[in-house]
Amino acid sequence: MGIVVLTMKASVIEMFLVLLVTGIHSNKDMNKKIKRPKFTVPQINCDVKAGKIINPEFVVKCPAGCQDPKYHVYGTDIYASYSSVCGAAIHSGVLDNSGGKILVRKVAGQSGYKGSYSNGVQSLSLPRWRESFVVSEGKPQKGVTYPSALTYSSAKSLAAKTGEATKAYQKPPVPGTTAQPVTPMQVTGATATEATATSLPKPSPSTGSTTSSLGPQPVGHRSWELDLWSTSSYASGHHSPRANPGEMDLWQPGSVLLDAGFVPKEELSTQSLEPVSQGDPNCKVDLSFLIDGSSSIGKRRFRIQKQFLADVAQALDIGPGGPLMGVVQYGDNPAAQFNLRTHVNSRDLKAAIEKITQRGGLSNAGRAISYVTKNFFSKANGNRGAAPNVAVVIVDGWPTDKVEEASRFARESGINIFFITVEGATENEKQYVTEPNFSNKAVCRTNGFYSLNVQSWFSLHKTVQPLLKRICDTDRLACSKTCWNSADIGFVIDGSSSVGTGNFRTVLQFVANISKEFEISETDTRIGAVQYTYEQRLEFGFEDHSTKADILNAIKRVGYWSGGTSTGAAINYALEQLFKKSKPNKRKLMILITDGRSYDDVRIPSMVAHHKGVITYAIGVAWAAQDELEVIATHPANHHSFFVDEFDNLHKFVPKVIQNICTEFNSQPRN
């Protein structure tokens, strides 16, 4: 009780000062336009979220420095009210980092908010929020009365016992305001309206009962937040808050609902408040950061490294539908700090990063990369399979062991390796470096895409955005391409009468045996199939099946058609129906199997296929014409065409076909 009274006093004084200060700086133009003589522009801190302010429309002054990433912003143009008001204003371009006046208007909640990078602020995505706001320049509209003081929802008072808290809500003797004392009933109304934005005790059974009528909610949203989602007026529009007479006074311009500290202390409530994001769907990667914990790096630099990780965790919208991130620290030996499933949102991840302590020892990055290849990206550790694997290795100076071999193995295991070298060896130090050009040897290409050199630890923060841009560009993540995981393979199968039912089964077995060798998923190798006679039909496309089991089943289910042999038309059809839907970063492989000479011309369709970058293998059985196979096949023909005298010998060619595919892959640049 005593504390309440004391803080109460403090807040009154604070309030007084704020009014005094804002009064002195009040804008003359604004006073002209707005009739109310007492109108002043209230001021808020960078961290104040729109949801904390109950007023539906207001002009407010932001201080300088709100561009800081610690003030979270969710959405683009329309922002979830969970966002920092001033941060959103900078993101939308209405304000710059030097602060100023803005006009804020609440609008209805959205079913999705998309994050974007704009004006130096990275906003995050959010699946759904109960209320939004838009920001425009701080020019008041004619005829609209803006509040000269804001009505805040209160975290502290609500956390206190209701009986005691009531007192704190009573109207303070603020000069120039005409609000009536707030009764306990009004307080209830106010708390219900704002509680979504605060850390609250469980709701009363009566409010809780409305939950069931609501639609889907953000994951992790608590039920007591849910019922408030629908609390009338406030959620959907800004001109109808008076629907509840008990709330009336709180909406009156000039009325002030004080909480103990005037400016809401949101730290108190972030725990229960943070909307649980599904993650940025445009950056769905499984990430491992390998951080340097060697003794030589020193405490201070190690802290900078942690800050860098925290910045990355912040800028990436971590979540099960977006990027996931784990951290491995290496010294003499590596150790996982946490894996992909330990912390699945940016906030928890940042908190965990803060707690990492330095291991000390040497700087054995190679050993760490091997460790990550063997252990980190396992299913048990949260590897999703359908998301590219990325390992970012941070090295202070140079590693004390070799990284080339370990990195090559990692890449062949499907891991995209990025190297960040901070304060690399100077000319004088180069003699000490264990493996010259280690960074170039570790990555798949030396074009600079996968390696970053940072002059000084103190400028490391500048690499956050460039790095994330690369990591999230999943179509360019080609550093882990292998023969097995990087193709779209389209089988073109001759189903003509001469083949016969039994042999057709053998052909399907051959198709299955080749498919089996590849790593199959949405992001790895994909398989499609066309059967043809005179006519053609799509048996299944690249997007139809995304697991090996499904593919093998689909192959089994292909029914024998029987008819003529129009191979040329079939190639055209495969280009249109299959390969048109191939992704740009995939190797396009066509494997055509036929048992006879084509009735139509194959020359032109084959040229078109080659011209379009479809690498074509022609496999002829029994009556197939060798010269025709060579026309169909990509150059050099002897590498891409095969002739088998009978169907029973087809199986012998499985390893040969695979070998040729991989030999060719390995002889070509991989980007």
Ligand X SMILES: *[C@@H]1O[C@H](CO)[C@@H](O)[C@H](O)[C@H]1NC(C)=O
Q: How far apart are CA 407 and CA 424, in angstroms?
A: 19
Shortest distance, position 414 Cβ to ligand X, whole Å: 25
Which DSSP symbol is given to 261?
T
Which DSSP symbol is given to 486?
S
Shortest distance, position 584 Cβ to ligand X, whole Å: 27
Residue 571: φ, ψ to 5°: -65, -45
**Whole-number Cα distances in Å, 644 to 382, 529, 591:** 45, 21, 15
Q: How far apart are CA 592 and CA 508, in angstroms?
A: 12
Contact segment (CB under 6 A) with ligand X among 8-16, 259-267, 553-561, 649-657 equals 649-657
Which structure tokens are listed for 436?
A: 């010259």
Residue nearer to ligand X on the CB measure, 637 or 654? 654
Shortest distance, position 347 Cβ to ligand X, whole Å: 40
Reduced to 3 states, what is the DSSP secondary structure of residue 472?
A: helix
Shortest distance, position 126 Cβ to ligand X, whole Å: 43
Contact segment (CB under 6 A) with ligand X among 233-241, 304-312, 502-510, 611-619 equals 502-510
Please give the helix or strand (H or E) that residue 187 lies within, else none. Answer: helix 184-194
Shortest distance, position 404 Cβ to ligand X, whole Å: 11
Site string for ligand X, 427-466 (x = CB under 6 A): ---------xx--x-----x--------------------
Number of residues counted as binding ligand X (CB under 6 A):
11
Shortest distance, position 510 Cβ to ligand X, whole Å: 4
Residue nearer to ligand X on the CB measure, 461 or 516? 516
Residue 350 neighbours by CB under 8 Å, 6+ apart: 310, 313, 314
Q: Any contact of residue 603 with ligand X (CB under 6 A)?
A: no
Residue 243: Cβ-neighbour burial (10 angstroms; 0-12, 13-18, 19+): exposed
Residue 58: Cβ-neighbour burial (10 angstroms; 0-12, 13-18, 19+): buried
Residue nearer to ligand X on the CB measure, 434 or 440? 440
Contact segment (CB under 6 A) with ligand X among 257-265, 351-359, 506-514, 537-545 equals 506-514
For the beta carbon of residue 396, count every other beta carbon within 10 angstroms: 23
Reduced to 3 states, what is the DSSP secondary structure of residue 518?
A: coil
Phi-psi region of 622 (alpha: psi -120 to 50; beta: other; left: phi over 0): left
Residue number closest to ligand X, CB atom:
651
Residue 541: φ, ψ to 5°: -95, 175
Shortest distance, position 413 Cβ to ligand X, whole Å: 24
Give yes or no for a contact between 421 and 363, defined as CB atoms under 8 angstroms apart: no
Near ligand X by CB under 6 A: residue from 214, 219, 654, 658? 654
Strands 324-330 and 286-292: parallel
Near ligand X by CB under 6 A: residue from 349, 558, 650, 657? 650
Shortest distance, position 649 Cβ to ligand X, whole Å: 9
What is the identity of the amino acid at 409? F
Give yes or no for a contact between 130 and 229, defined as CB atoms under 8 angstroms apart: yes
Give yes or no for a contact between 15 and 172, defined as CB atoms under 8 angstroms apart: yes
Residue nearer to ligand X on the CB measure, 573 or 642? 642
Contact segment (CB under 6 A) with ligand X among 94-102, 286-294, 474-482, 648-656 equals 648-656
Q: Any contact of residue 540 with ligand X (CB under 6 A)?
A: no
Residue nearer to ligand X on the CB measure, 436 or 559? 436
Q: Any contact of residue 513 with ligand X (CB under 6 A)?
A: yes
Site string for ligand X, 388-427 (x = CB under 6 A): ----------------------------------------
Q: Any contact of residue 649 with ligand X (CB under 6 A)?
A: no
Residues in contact with ligand X by CB under 6 A are: 436-437, 440, 446, 506, 509-510, 513, 650-651, 654
